[in-house]
């Protein structure tokens, strides 16, 4: 078996049997249907990589089925139409409704296999093109040689060899999605789909449909779990899922099956789950906002991506990587980062982490034409100089972030700066920022700020 499944829909038993035998000899999984009703039922129960669909059948004909399936984009598989009474008009109509090709009976075994192979290859290319934007991200590998990043790479490599569920934590912009992609690429599932979904970007009432798919009035919408079958599903910002979706997700992880919203049939699940978050799940569990049982299910292998401020020594290598990438891929002018510029970058707290670093590099390449990037230019880009009028610690790179991440970025930068002013003393910081000390400790922990490290750095 090559892992690909084909549905044959034809009212002639002999045709179904012959085509099934040929395809099974080639290693394909094959299911057959004698008409429209059985074809609809099988589509609800299985995910097919290709459909061979007879045009002339009693009851619902092939063209009607093709039109029906194309209305809600439920048929996410190439379709090859077959008929013993073909004509140009019928073929054109089939192609117009999304059919890949048209074969006439009696079927030639050689032509059948060539057409099936081409259709499957075409679908593979289509899926790759749909994911082209994600695949063209600057890196699917963590950049740096610091002790922290070296340990992280080693942990990811060892974890990728297993099929365990993974929880990736870290500050906004630290590289959680890069770590997830690296996990997938090093795993045995690398040849299959990597599907990512931003939980925070989908309204709660729609999230279950997006994840598990839906069935309504005979129409099927396939969700991310079905798209990721055989591959990896990344649930970005899992903490934004409501408790109802969390319950559905837990059931799927425990049973290895899931049910589409509005459906009744259990669908087998062959998906590796990688969840990411920049929040403290243990705190959310205590507050009743995240299910404890789901937390332990996801947290089989915890992977923490360190903030950039903890591996500042990687800044020159990161800068060189993003600089070369933007020159090559985005056709931006090359500029040399001076020693002073790199030193200024090393002395910045980077509340937006690697994402902020990338944005700053892009900004100085776009806005200036001088050959060398100076320390002053970096300080201006980062907003490191306090303005006499408003004393803000604002970086323009915050404007590239979602509101919540920009808020976290500002709070982190603000609290780190104020902690430095009081030499790491939380008791002195509390009245300065107007937060009760117990709440302040929680806030510092949620933003991954360690007052002790700041106190040591001020000595």
Residue 135, domain member (yes or no): no
Question: Which sign, positive or negative, has the C-alpha torsion 239, 245, 247, 251?
Answer: negative
Residue 191, domain member (yes or no): yes
Statement to judge: residues 344 and 434 lie in one domain: no
Statement to judge: residues 161 and 299 lie in one domain: yes
Which token pair is 278?
A: 């920049």
Q: What is the pLDDT of residue 10?
A: 93
Domain boundary among 71, 103, 130: 130
Using DSSP, state whether 453 is helix, strand or coil: helix
Statement to judge: residues 115 and 251 lie in one domain: no
Statement to judge: residues 291 and 149 lie in one domain: yes
Count Cα atoms within 13 angstroms, Cβ side, for 429.
23
Q: What is the pLDDT of residue 135?
A: 46
Domain region containing 171: 144-305
Q: What is the pLDDT of residue 389?
A: 35
Statement to judge: residues 71 and 220 lie in one domain: no
Question: How far is residue 40's CA from residue 218's CA, in Å, rounded to a whole number?
Answer: 8
DSSP secondary structure code for residue 338 in this structure = P
Statement to judge: residues 300 and 331 lie in one domain: no
CATH code, domain carrying 62 = 3.40.50.2300
Peptide bond into 206 cis (omega under 30): no
Statement to judge: residues 191 and 114 lie in one domain: no
Question: How far is residue 367's CA from residue 134's CA, in Å, rounded to a whole number?
Answer: 26
Question: How far is residue 353's CA from residue 59's CA, in Å, rounded to a whole number?
Answer: 61
Q: What is the pLDDT of residue 62?
A: 87
| Strands of 142-243, DSSP E | 166-170, 194-198, 214-216, 219-221, 232-236
Q: What is the pLDDT of residue 388?
A: 35
Residue 156, domain member (yes or no): yes
Residue 139, domain member (yes or no): no
Residue 260, domain member (yes or no): yes
CATH code, domain carrying 363 = 1.10.8.60
Statement to judge: residues 316 and 291 lie in one domain: no
Statement to judge: residues 153 and 301 lie in one domain: yes
Distance of CA 451 to the CA centre of its chain: 34
Q: What is the pLDDT of residue 75?
A: 53
Statement to judge: residues 247 and 321 lie in one domain: no
Question: How far is residue 23's CA from residue 116's CA, in Å, rounded to a whole number?
Answer: 9
- Looking at the structure of the chain, the number of domains it has is 4
Statement to judge: residues 291 and 314 lie in one domain: no
pLDDT means per 10 residues, the chain with 459 residues, are 82 92 91 91 84 89 84 69 74 77 87 91 72 52 93 96 93 92 93 89 82 81 88 93 92 91 88 93 90 91 93 95 88 91 90 90 85 89 55 52 73 83 84 82 83 68
Domain boundary among 265, 290, 305: 305
Residue 137, domain member (yes or no): no
Q: What is the pLDDT of residue 396?
A: 54
Using DSSP, state whether 356 is helix, strand or coil: helix
Statement to judge: residues 149 and 295 lie in one domain: yes
Residue 173, domain member (yes or no): yes
CATH code, domain carrying 229 = 3.40.50.300
Question: How far is residue 373's CA from residue 8's CA, in Å, rounded to a whole number?
Answer: 63
CATH code, domain carrying 446 = 1.10.10.60
Q: What is the pLDDT of residue 46?
A: 80
Count Cα atoms within 13 angstroms, Cβ side, for 440.
21
Per the CB < 8 A criterion, the answer to whether 277 and 179 are in contact is no
Per the CB < 8 A criterion, the answer to whether 376 and 385 are in contact is no
Distance of CA 387 to the CA centre of its chain: 39
Residue 266, domain member (yes or no): yes
Looking up tokens 């404890």, which residue turns up? 292
Q: What is the pLDDT of residue 140?
A: 66
Domain boundary among 130, 162, 196: 130
**Contacting residues for 434 by C-beta, under 8 A, at least 6 apart:** none
């Amino acid at each position: 078996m090559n892992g690909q499944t084909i549905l044959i829909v034809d009212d002639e038993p002999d045709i179904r049997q012959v085509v099934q035998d040929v395809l099974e000899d080639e290693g394909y999984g094959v299911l057959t249907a004698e008409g429209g009703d059985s074809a609809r039922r099988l589509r609800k129960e299985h995910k097919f990589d290709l459909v061979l669909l007879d045009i002339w059948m009693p009851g619902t004909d092939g063209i009607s089925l093709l039109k029906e399936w194309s209305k809600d984009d439920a048929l996410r598989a190439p379709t090859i139409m077959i008929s013993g009474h073909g004509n140009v008009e019928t073929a054109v109509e089939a192609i117009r409704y999304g059919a890949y090709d048209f074969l006439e009976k009696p079927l030639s075994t050689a032509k059948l296999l060539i057409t099936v192979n081409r259709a499957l290859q075409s679908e593979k290319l289509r899926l790759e093109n749909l994911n082209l934007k994600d695949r063209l991200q600057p890196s699917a590998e963590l950049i740096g040689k610091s002790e922290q990043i070296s340990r992280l790479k080693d942990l990811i490599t060892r974890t990728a060899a297993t099929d365990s569920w993974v929880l990736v934590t870290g500050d906004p912009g630290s590289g959680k999605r890069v770590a997830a992609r690296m996990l997938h690429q090093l795993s045995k599932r690398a040849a299959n789909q990597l599907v990512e979904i931003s939980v925070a970007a989908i309204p709660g009432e729609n999230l279950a449909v997006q994840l598990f798919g839906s069935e309504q009035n005979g129409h099927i919408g396939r969700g991310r779990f079905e798209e990721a079958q055989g591959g990896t599903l990344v649930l970005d910002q899992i903490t934004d899922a409501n408790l109802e979706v969390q319950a559905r997700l837990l059931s799927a992880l425990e049973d290895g099956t899931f049910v589409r919203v509005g459906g009744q049939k259990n669908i087998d699940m062959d998906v590796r789950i990688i969840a990411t978050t920049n929040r403290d799940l243990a705190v959310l569990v205590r507050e009743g906002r995240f299910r404890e049982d789901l937390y332990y299910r996801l947290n089989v292998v915890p992977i923490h991506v360190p903030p950039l401020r903890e591996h500042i020594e990687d800044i020159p290598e990161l800068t060189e990587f993003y600089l070369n990438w933007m020159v090559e891929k985005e056709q931006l002018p090359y500029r040399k980062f001076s020693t002073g510029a790199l030193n200024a970058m090393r002395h910045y707290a980077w509340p937006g982490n690697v994402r902020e670093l990338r944005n700053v590099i892009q900004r100085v390449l776009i806005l200036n034409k001088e050959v060398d990037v100076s320390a002053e230019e970096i300080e201006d880009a980062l907003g490191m100089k306090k303005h006499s009028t408003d004393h803000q610690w604002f970086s323009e790179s915050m404007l590239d972030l979602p509101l919540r991440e920009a808020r976290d970025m500002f709070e982190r930068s603000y609290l780190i700066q104020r902690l430095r002013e009081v030499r790491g003393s939380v008791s002195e910081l509390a009245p300065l920022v107007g937060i009760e000390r117990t709440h302040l400790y929680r806030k510092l922990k949620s933003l991954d700020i360690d007052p002790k490290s700041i106190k040591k750095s001020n000595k």
